[in-house]
């Protein structure tokens, strides 16, 4: 089933970068445009003031040397040179002395700047002329509009280029992810040994690759364990089933007396009970693997529980020529049936390998971090160090290290490890100098 993609990281990132770029450029260009606009206005104001000052000086000189007529002649003569400007003069009483035409070269647009000033005229009534000099800055306004267009085009073009460049760069940067995806697709149940790798992994990808590879190591181990478990189960079930079938076939091959058939049924019952015990143990381990926890009851003496288990195995101990004792004690809130089961498995394991005349010791002592240590110690041949980590594996028989010739389905110590985990503990195994200690820890305070 394929997943539907809601978006592309490359497209989304390129759009965001393009938007940010355009916003930043727009802000910069807007600030630059307003700055230039203020500078142009200031330049135009200074130019208007300068021209009005020059006109005032020229007309004052004309009035002084030639009078009113000379002044009028001068402004009329200069009118042609004042394109895009307009000059207006009034006498002191408000009557018009002179005014440029409002059409042609002196027509004004909406973009103007006017300067009012006075011209000294002692020869005229009132002693002065009032003047207004207006300049048209249409060209500057057009220049500003053109720059706005340029700014907009540059902003859009920059956004487009950034979007295209970032999309290309992001796709190039995400190429390792596509390579990892391709490597992941190549992994199959028959190729669980495959691992992700890059020739030059990015710092951000390296933890992901390492975690994935560690997951694959655990998965490969789990699958291998499952395959081995299936093979072991098939092997373990095959023997009692073959015995059941064989005994039944022999019993049915000819008429037999009732006593012989009874013996056959008893033998079949033993095999069926063995099968039932194995199935129950596997179901228990399955529940433990799914995270089942112990049902802790009231605080109880672990030494008392160990004594009950020893009493239950008294006949087996006597038959093996062994004695048993308990060293140490501690109170803990535990699941008593589970702890007894773990102790029973440990004691049965010790009885199978302890030499006759020796003593099996159940040791109970505090451990670190509020843990309690429960071990069963027996004399016997030292277990090789390479076998110790595997003692609690399912269907691993200690007879690989210490043969005993007894039939046993190899789940006892695996159940001990499961019960330890259900009590927030761990399994323990040590063997040296002819003494072997196998046990578990459990959390003393629940």
Q: In this predicted model, what pLDDT tens digit does every residue of 220-230 receive, in sequence order?
A: 877 877 776 67
Read off the tokens for 143.
């220049």
Per-residue pLDDT at 399 = 53
Instruction: Determine the Cα–Cα distance for residues 269 and 272; give it in Å rounded to an integer.
Output: 5
46-to-41, 106, 325, 385 alpha-carbon distances in Å: 9, 20, 114, 99
Confidence of residue 409 (pLDDT cuts 50, 70, 90): low
DSSP letter, residue 53? H
Instruction: Determine the Cα–Cα distance for residues 112 and 110; give it in Å rounded to an integer.
Output: 6
- pTM here is 0.53
Per-residue pLDDT at 430 = 92
Ordered by where they begin, the domains of the chain are: 9-168 (3.30.450), 206-289 (1.10.287.130), 299-443 (3.30.565.10)
- Picking from 62, 51, 128, the residue whose alpha carbon sits closest to that of residue 85 is 51
What strand order describes the sheet that includes 371-379?
A: 323-327, 359-366, 371-379, 435-443, 427-432
SS3 assignment, position 5: coil
The answer to whether 275 and 242 are in contact (CB under 8 A) is no
What Rg, from alpha-carbon coordinates, does the chain have? Answer: 52
Q: Say which residue the tokens 């647009």 belong to.
A: 109
Confidence of residue 101 (pLDDT cuts 50, 70, 90): confident
Q: In this predicted model, what pLDDT tens digit does every residue of 386-405 receive, in sequence order?
A: 888 888 887 766 554 444 43
Per-residue pLDDT at 4 = 61
Per-residue pLDDT at 165 = 84
Confidence of residue 313 (pLDDT cuts 50, 70, 90): very high
Confidence of residue 127 (pLDDT cuts 50, 70, 90): confident
Average pLDDT, stretch 235-252? 81
Read off the tokens for 317.
């101990």
Per-residue pLDDT at 15 = 82
Q: Say which residue the tokens 């008893």 belong to.
A: 266
DSSP assignment of 191-244, as one string?
A: GTT-----SS--TTTHHHHHHHHHHHHHHHHHHHHHHHHHHHHHHHHHHHHHHH
Average pLDDT, stretch 134-155? 86
Per-residue pLDDT at 7 = 66
- The residues, ordered by sequence, that sit 6+ positions from 99 with a Cβ below 8 Å of its Cβ are 86, 87, 88, 89
> What are the phi and psi torsion angles at 297 (to 5°)?
-105, -150
Per-residue pLDDT at 108 = 83
Q: In this predicted model, what pLDDT tens digit does every residue of 314-333 receive, in sequence order?
A: 999 999 999 999 999 999 99
Instruction: Determine the Cα–Cα distance for residues 272 and 268; give it in Å rounded to an integer.
Output: 6
The answer to whether 353 and 404 are in contact (CB under 8 A) is yes
List Cβ<8 Å contacts ≥24 apart for 44-53: 44/113, 44/135, 44/137, 44/140, 45/113, 47/135, 48/113, 48/114, 48/115, 48/133, 48/135, 49/115, 51/85, 51/133, 51/135, 52/115, 52/117, 52/131, 52/133, 53/117
Cβ of 244: how many Cβ atoms within 10 Å? 19
Read off the tokens for 349.
């394991």
Query: Residue 56 pLDDT > 80, yes or no?
Result: yes
How, if at all, do strands 128-136 and 85-90 pair?
antiparallel
Instruction: Determine the Cα–Cα distance for residues 401 and 250; give it in Å rounded to an integer.
Output: 37
Burial class (CB in 10 A: 0-12, 13-18, 19+), 133: buried
- The total number of residues written for the chain in this structure: 446
């Amino acid at each position: 089933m394929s997943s539907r993609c809601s978006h592309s990281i490359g497209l989304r990132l390129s759009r965001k970068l393009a938007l940010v770029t355009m916003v930043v450029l727009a802000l910069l260009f807007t600030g630059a445009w307003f700055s230039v606009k203020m500078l142009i206005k200031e330049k135009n104001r200074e130019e208007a003031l300068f021209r009005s000052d020059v006109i005032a000086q020229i007309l004052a000189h004309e009035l002084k040397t030639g009078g009113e007529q000379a002044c009028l002649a001068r402004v009329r003569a200069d009118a042609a040179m004042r394109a895009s400007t307009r000059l207006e003069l009034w006498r002191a009483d408000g009557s018009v002395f002179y005014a440029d035409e409002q059409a042609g070269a002196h027509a004004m647009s909406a973009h103007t700047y006017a300067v009012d000033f006075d011209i000294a005229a002692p020869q005229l009534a009132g002693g002065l002329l009032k003047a207004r000099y207006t300049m048209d800055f249409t060209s500057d306004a057009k220049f500003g509009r053109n720059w706005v267009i340029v700014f907009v085009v540059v902003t859009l073009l920059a956004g487009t280029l950034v979007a295209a460049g970032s999309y290309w760069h992001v796709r190039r940067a995400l190429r390792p992810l596509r390579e990892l995806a391709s490597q992941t697709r190549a992994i199959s149940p028959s190729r669980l040994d495959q691992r992700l790798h890059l020739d030059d992994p990015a710092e951000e990808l390296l933890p992901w690759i390492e975690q994935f590879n560690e997951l694959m190591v655990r998965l490969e181990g789990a699958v291998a364990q499952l395959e081995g478990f299936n093979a072991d189960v098939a092997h373990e079930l095959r023997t009692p089933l073959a015995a059941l079938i064989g005994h039944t076939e022999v019993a049915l091959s000819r008429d037999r007396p009732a006593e012989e058939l009874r013996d056959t049924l008893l033998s079949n019952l033993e095999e069926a009970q063995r099968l039932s015990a194995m199935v129950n143990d596997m179901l228990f381990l399955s529940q433990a693997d799914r995270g089942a926890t112990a049902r802790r009851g009231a605080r109880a003496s672990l030494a008392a529980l160990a004594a009950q288990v020893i009493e239950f195995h008294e006949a087996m101990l006597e038959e093996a020529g062994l004695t048993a004792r308990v060293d140490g004690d501690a109170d803990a809130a535990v699941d008593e049936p589970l702890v007894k089961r773990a102790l029973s498995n440990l004691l049965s394991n010790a009885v199978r390998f302890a030499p006759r005349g020796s003593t099996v010791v159940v040791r109970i002592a505090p451990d670190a971090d509020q843990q309690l240590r429960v071990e069963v110690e027996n004399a016997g041949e030292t277990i090789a160090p390479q076998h110790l980590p595997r003692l609690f594996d399912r269907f691993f028989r200690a007879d690989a290290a210490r043969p005993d010739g007894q039939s046993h389905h190899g789940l006892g110590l695996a159940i001990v490890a499961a019960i330890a985990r259900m009590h927030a503990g761990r399994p323990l195994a040590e063997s040296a100098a002819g003494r072997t200690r196998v046990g578990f820890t459990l959390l003393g305070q629940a």
